[in-house]
Amino acid sequence: MEGFDKKDEMQEVDSNFRQEIYSKAVRAGKRTYFFDVKATRKNEYYLTITESKKRYDQDGKFHFEKHKIFLYKEDFEKFSDGLSEVIDFIKASQSIDDSDINIETIGAENEEETVVSKDYTNVDFDDLQS
Query: Tens digit of pLDDT per residue, the chain (130 long)?
Result: 455 454 444 444 444 445 789 999 999 988 999 999 999 888 899 999 999 998 888 888 888 999 999 999 999 999 999 999 999 999 999 975 555 555 544 443 334 444 444 444 444 545 444 4
N residues, the chain:
130
Strands (E) in the chain, as ranges, are: 20-28, 31-39, 45-56, 62-72, 101-108, 111-118
C-alpha dihedral sign at 82, 99, 120, 90:
negative
Amino acid (1-letter code) at residue 59 = D
Mapping DSSP to helix (H, G, I), strand (E, B) and coil, where does residue 57 land?
coil
Mapping DSSP to helix (H, G, I), strand (E, B) and coil, where does residue 29 land?
coil
The architecture that CATH gives domain 15-118 is: Roll (3.10)
